[in-house]
Chain A
Amino acid sequence: MNLVFEHFDLYLRAFGWTVLLFLASALASLVIGTVLAAMRVGPVSILRAASTAYITVVRNTPLLVMFLLICVGLPTVGITFRFVEDWHLDAFYFRSCIALTLYTSTFVAEAIRSGINAVPLGQAEAARAVGLTFGGTMTQVVLPQAFRAIVPPLASVMIALLKNTSVAYVFGVVEATARMKYFTNITARDEGVFVLFALGYIVLVEMVSLGAYSLERRWKVSRA
């Protein structure tokens, strides 16, 4: 435990990677998840089928398998994503973000779909009646109301994502869990190390849930 305090920069840098994994994957999966949800409720049957198939397959795949596919499988057939190194991005970080994003976007899509279903059908009908296209109906009428309803479930998805970043510890990213293993290896046996790293995760998760809570309250007022 004292060793962690002596090397606190390592601790902070490790959680820095955790946060970076989380932020990039959260942003990307919110965007992709929204698109998937729109496809799934949209009028184009081929897109609807594609989105449904993607969500069914990926959501039912364990995260570890997604990681193995992106970080071990694809490089074996020559897709290493090492081109991102030209943009000064870490390829291991990039691959982990892809795996996390592909996985999480399905959960985001389903959360958003539940929100869309919660918006009364009359809203969409009224939007169509005043001449809005499907895109206009979604972006200006349905999604703004849907996002309001899905803050709590989406927060759960994001918290799960934050903790899921730890899978990257065996895929070349020295994030918090990997650094914890580093400390537990050199300290023989020290429960304090686990406690400190658990605390780090708790703080981060609490930040996400407090953020979600404040959003929920803000949007609740404007709804009334």
Chain B
Amino acid sequence: MRLTRFKAVAVAIAAAASLSACGGNAGSDEGSGVDVKVASNAADSFKDGTRMKEIAESGKITIGVKFDQPGIGFKGATDDMPKGFDPQIGKILAASLGIKPEDITWKETISDNREPFLESGEVDLVIASYSITDERRKVVGQAGPYYVTGQQLLVPKDSKIDSIDDVRGMNVCSVTGSTSLDQIEAKGAKPRGFDTYSDCVDQVLNGTVDAMTTDGAILMGYAAENPDKLKVVVPPFSEERYGVGYSKSHPEMCQWIVDTLKKAEDDGTWAKAFEATLGKSGVATPEPPAMDPCPAA
């Protein structure tokens, strides 16, 4: 019997892993995006001993992104490369090191392993809807923000919820352990954590929860898939500032990230990346946010 149980657990884990791997098929038609201009002889433009030079010389970079957030970072079961705004930012950064998009190794990072992956060098950068917080900045470096979004609500078309005060006592779902779930709990809703965003959308559709909450951009993607049944309500009630995570052992990377993204914002690459990904759900391309100065190395 113990063995059966052990097997059951093993199978459950395998099932959980495969479920999270193929959770949802939303947004799989997103274009793999804009062309980025790959810098030539990039290694020469960096000082000796910097991590950028090392990466540029090796010609390889590993970037951690989310695989389960349509519009932000999403990889379907049959996709070769993740799609979304975060991978686009990754391509822009890699291009400045002279690395072509196909030479980037994409690694799935979930909320729990972003810091350990950066610290152990498992990934060079984390671009995974990684909200900048003081707590995280104690452990890793976060450059940016390259995008600012806010939390909204996704509700059934006939829902009576039209202000954030209406969620008090309501069942609102999001992904277990996400910041969005904490925020909605603080608003007096009953937090309902699920494994993936697509599980959560199912709960809204079958009426077990009253609303779903996370960053507006993700919600719009789902609303666009089910326009007869779902709608996005409430003006954003939180501010999430997405940053690029890097290891604290390479503080010189911060200025490079900020400079590269600034250039992309100025020459329109940033806007194109947005239009090709998040902009597809009908949101107007926003002004790029002002980035924080880098901490003194």
Contact = CB atoms under 8 A, between A and B. Distances in A.
Given A82-B208, A91-B208, A170-B199, A189 B194 contact: no
Contacts of A62: 8-9, 11-12, 15
B193 A174 contact: yes
Q: Is the interface of B mostly helix, strand, loop or mixed?
A: helix
Contacts of A91: 208
Nearest to B14: A62
A107 B176 contact: no
B178 interface: yes
Interface stretch (A42-50, A115-123, A179-187, A202-210): A179-187
Given A72-B202, A76-B206, A186-B135, A59 B4 contact: yes
Interface string B16-51: 100100000000000000000000000000000000
B176 A80 contact: no
Instruction: Classify chain B's interface size.
Output: 35 or more
Given A82-B208, A188-B138, A189-B115, A182 B1 contact: no
B139 to A, nearest CB: 4
A200 interface: no
Per DSSP, chain A at the interface is: helix
B171 A92 contact: yes
Given A153-B1, A188-B115, A171 B177 contact: no
Interface in B123-147: 133, 135-136, 138-140
Interface residues of A, number: 37
Nearest to B16: A64
A212 interface: no
A91 B2 CA distance: 31
Given A107-B1, A172-B171, A188-B139, A75 B15 contact: no
B65 interface: no
Interface in A114-156: 153, 156
Nearest to A180: B177
A44 B227 CA distance: 54
Interface string A70-103: 0110011010101000000001100000000000
Contacts of B223: none
Nearest to A168: B193
A20 interface: no
9 contacts: A59-B4, A60-B4, A64-B16, A76-B205, A82-B207, A91-B208, A184-B112, A188-B133, A188-B140
Given A64-B12, A92-B171, A185-B112, 6 more contacts: A75-B207, A178-B177, A182-B177, A189-B115, A189-B116, A189-B139
Interface of A: 59-65, 71-72, 75-76, 78, 80, 82, 91-92, 107, 110-111, 153, 156, 160, 167, 169-172, 174, 178, 181-182, 184-189
Closest CB pairs A-B (n = 6)? A181-B177, A172-B192, A170-B195, A62-B12, A189-B115, A75-B206
